[in-house]
Amino acid sequence: MTYKEWTDQDHLELVKNWKLHGLTNVEIAQRIGIAEKTLYVWLKKSPKLKKAIRGGKNIARARAENALYELALNGDRQALFFWLKNNYRERYSDKPLSPAEADLMSQNARLGQITG
């Protein structure tokens, strides 16, 4: 079996959906019938395969973020605290920011004002 067999549209969609549904790279390699190391070699050789895995992962992340946001908006206090701590760390973190982190946050805020 070669990576080229897995770069047609049907196989790329299958791999993307596996990642979308939470499979790890180890599990994807097992489903393909290859070793995990082989999968990483294939990903270096095939931008299409790498894009399919990354695409599935990005969609899954976006769905999870949206679900968390909806929970936070609908009154789930734990979800709200989690969302605030992760999106407004400088205001809602349990730990103080390091000087480097505070400087980075300040720079990002200035950039937002300039480009916003």
**Nearest one of 27, 13, 88 to 56, comparing CA atoms:** 13
**pTM summary value:** 0.70
Angle, in degrees to the nearest 10, between helices 36-45 and 25-32: 90
* Interval 31-46 mean pLDDT: 97
Tell whether the model's pLDDT for residue 113 goes beyond 70.
no
Question: How long, in residues, is the chain?
Answer: 116
Q: Which amino acid is at 60?
A: A
pLDDT of residue 115: 58
- 105 burial (CB, 10 Å; 0-12 / 13-18 / 19+) is middle
C-alpha 60, offset from chain centre: 7
* Interval 59-66 mean pLDDT: 94
What residue segments make up the domains of the chain, in order of their start? Answer: 3-115
pLDDT of residue 70: 95
Q: Tell me how many degrees the CA angle 88-57-8 measures, rounded to the nearest 5.
A: 155
pLDDT of residue 43: 96
pLDDT digits (tens, 9 = 90+) for 66-109: 999 999 999 899 999 898 888 887 778 777 778 887 788 778 77
CB atoms within 10 A of CB 89: 14
With the C-alpha atoms ordered 82, 86, 88, 93, is the resulting torsion angle positive or negative? positive
Q: How confident is the model at residue 116 (pLDDT cuts 50, 70, 90)?
A: low
C-alpha to C-alpha distance for 24 and 53, rounded to whole angstroms: 10
